Structure formats: C-alpha cells, structure tokens
Amino acid sequence: MATITKRLLLSDLVSTDKIDQVPSNYIRPITQRPNLQSVVHDSIPLIDLHNLFGPNRGQVIDQIGRACRDYGFFQVKNHSVPELTISNMMQTTRDFFNLPEQERLKNYSDDPQKTTRLSTSFNVRTEKVANWRDYLRLHCYPIENFVHEWPTNPTSFRAHVAEYCTSVRGLAVQLIEAISESLGLEKEYIGRQLGKHAQHMALNYYPPCPQPDLTYGLPGHTDLNLITILLQDQVPGLQVWRNGHWVAVDPVPNTFIINIGDQIQVMSNDKYKSVLHRAVVNCDKERISIPTFYCPSPEAVIGPAPELVTDDEPAVYMQFTYEEYYEKFWNRGLATESCLDMFMAT
C-alpha cells in the first residue's frame, strides 16, 4: 500500500508532489476569491528621502504626512540601505527556501509565540482556509537576544540578515521620527511610546500556484505593528485597498514599500489609517517578499496621543499593552481583517 506523506510545508507539496490543482483546504468560498480581473493597476506615492536631512526636510515631512493620510502606503527611494545589503538579503532568503526539505524543517514550528520559526499559511492552529505561503519569521531587535536562534544554513544567513535588519532599523527610526513630526507631535514622541522597541521580520515564500483565482498568498489584512518596511523581488503580488478597489502595486527596483500599521492608526487617533492589503499568487513564478515589522516592545502601553485628542475629536481607542494586541492578532487566524475594533474606546 502506498504511504501518503502529509507535507508540513507548501513549497514541498508544490515542488516535490507536483500538484496540478489547488488542494481543497486552500480554496476560498466563491464570494471571497481574489477576483483578479477587477484589480486596478496604479501606483502609490514615491518619496525621495534624500532631502530628509537637508534644508527641505519640511517638504519631505509634508509628503510623508499626506501619503500616510491619503494612502496609508508609500514607496521610498534614496533610503540609505545599501544595494549590496539588500541583494545579499534576497539571495540568502532564496538559498534558504531552496535547501532540502529536511534541512528547512529543522526550523519548523506552528507555535506563534516562538521567536524564530518556519511555518506555512498564517496560523495553522486556528485558521479554516489555508494560504499559499511558507514563511520564516524572526525577531531581530535587540539582535543579540535572537541571533543565536536563527538558521545557520545557508552559512552566510546570520551575517547577511543581521546586516540587513540593522540597516533597515536605521531607516525605521528615521521614518518614525518623520511620521511623528508630520502629525504635529515632537519628533521623539512616537519613539518614546515604544518601550524598548522591537523588530520582527518575515521571509515570505509564495510558490507558483496552479489556480491563483481560488486562493491567496495572504488575504486582505492590516498589519498589527507600527510601520512595515517591505522588500520584494521583481514578481508582482502585493495589492492595496483604495477607493473601493484592489490596486496592484508592482515592484520598483531599489525602493521599499512603507505602510502604516494598526499602532500608528491608534496613536494618531485615526488621522492615519492602517490600510488593507493582500498578496495574490500566480501560475508561473515563485515570489519572495521580506516585510520588516517595526513594533513596540510587549509591555509598551499604546493609546491615542493626548495632543491629538480634543473635545471635537475624542479618543477613538482605549489604552492597551502591545502584548495584548499581539495575542489577539495571532489568535483570530486572519478571519477578520483587522483587530482595531476590539480596542475601541467605549
């Protein structure tokens, strides 16, 4: 009798078992499918950060503020993260996902509380429909607390990822200061609310999919953290919700995509929106995306900035610790698009 091996990772199901149909547990009900024909191709603002530290800082801050208010998403160029650091990060990710199954599985866990873990879909413990994605999730600030947990294969993995996340953290801190200023707050205000600060990242691997109309890489969701800095390869897949349509945001070389997460929406008291986005898959090509999630540390208390709460604009959210928010996020299995509703002021 033939033995049926149940694969833990989607990439092995696709590459080794050579399936030509999407397995039933990945298929969305008809009304929840991506409807790829109705997607609009458009762009999001592209902001040049070159002038962020010169006499025209005010103009750049205005552009960032407008993008946060009107789109919740923007791209940045001249962002100070070296090209080599980025290409090494991309290559080491590709090499990791090309390792033999047994080697990759050494990092496998389905426990969202683990600080380093290779997993699949979103949260296999709680979700009803699976997503067309494998991912390696890492905590990466303070780096010395986590680096010893990271994979050692490929051999350059730790060095390349450490260099990348240290450099991207510099960019995150600059952007958070700029966002603070754009809200009319002190430059250091948001940074001071984040406790000891934290930084996570995901190395997302979306295999080619035989029926991309039936499933998602990731369904529509908002990011729970403060801001996300997304690096993606040249394969399209990211879509952003805007004016009642899904807008495809195609990759632009040497840029990062920045989006506002739920914690900025809360601190800004709804001035800035944490916008829905999703990742779709395609028949031909694997896709890699690497979001850096900049966040408060777990004990940090988050709430609307007092300066942005007035009689006319009362606090929309209550105060909570980031730990409480984080737990709610992972437990709902992306069944609801956002967790913000659970933290409204009464």
| Residues at the interface with Ni ion (CB under 5 A) | 223
- Decide which of ligand OGA, Ni ion, none touches 204; Cβ closer than 5 to 8 Å per partner kind: ligand OGA
Map the footprint of ligand OGA across residues 232-261, applying CB under 6 A: 232, 237-238
Residue nearest to ligand OGA (CB): 289
Angle at 228 between CA 99 and CA 126, to 5 degrees: 65
Q: What single DSSP character describes residue 147?
A: G
Min CB(189)–ligand OGA separation in Å: 25
Cα–Cα distance, 98 to 117 (Å, whole number): 17
Q: Is 93 in the site for ligand OGA (CB under 6 A)?
A: no
Q: Is 204 in the site for ligand OGA (CB under 6 A)?
A: yes
Q: Give the x/- contact pattern for ligand OGA in 11-30, rule: CB under 6 A.
A: --------------------
Q: Is the dihedral of CA 84, 90, 94, 99 positive or negative?
A: positive
- Decide which of ligand OGA, Ni ion, none touches 289; Cβ closer than 5 to 8 Å per partner kind: ligand OGA
Q: Which two tokens stand for residue 14?
A: 């696709």
Q: Is 279 in the site for ligand OGA (CB under 6 A)?
A: yes
Q: Which is nearer to ligand OGA, 204 or 338 (CB)?
A: 204
For residue 237, give the 3-state DSSP assignment: coil
Q: Which is nearer to ligand OGA, 94 or 153 (CB)?
A: 94
Q: Is 60 in the site for ligand OGA (CB under 6 A)?
A: no
- Decide which of ligand OGA, Ni ion, none touches 112; Cβ closer than 5 to 8 Å per partner kind: none
The residues near 105 (Cβ < 8 Å, ≥ 6 apart) are: 8, 9, 118
Closest-CA residue to 331 (of 101, 183, 128, 127)? 127
Out of 277, 295, 334, 343, point to the residue binding ligand OGA (CB under 6 A): 277
Q: Is 218 in the site for ligand OGA (CB under 6 A)?
A: yes
Q: Is 212 in the site for ligand OGA (CB under 6 A)?
A: no
Q: Is the dihedral of CA 173, 178, 179, 184 positive or negative?
A: positive
Rounded to 10 degrees, the C-alpha dihedral 303/64/80/233 comes to 90
Cα–Cα distance, 309 to 313 (Å, whole number): 6
Q: Which is nearer to ligand OGA, 204 or 269 (CB)?
A: 204
Q: Which is nearer to ligand OGA, 63 or 289 (CB)?
A: 289
Q: Is 68 in the site for ligand OGA (CB under 6 A)?
A: no
φ/ψ of 117, rounded to 5, equals: -165, 140
Min CB(251)–ligand OGA separation in Å: 9
Q: Is the dihedral of CA 76, 77, 81, 84 positive or negative?
A: positive
User: Is the separation of the CB atoms in 255 and 190 below 8 Å?
Assistant: no
Q: What share of the chain is helix, strand, coil (3-state, %, to 5)?
A: 35, 20, 45
Q: Which two tokens stand for residue 74?
A: 């923007």
Q: Which is nearer to ligand OGA, 92 or 204 (CB)?
A: 204
Q: Is 264 in the site for ligand OGA (CB under 6 A)?
A: no
Determine the interface stretch with ligand OGA among 56-64, 231-239, 267-275, 299-307 (rule: CB under 6 A). Answer: 231-239
Positions that interact with ligand OGA (CB under 6 A): 202, 204, 218, 223, 232, 237-238, 277, 279, 289, 291
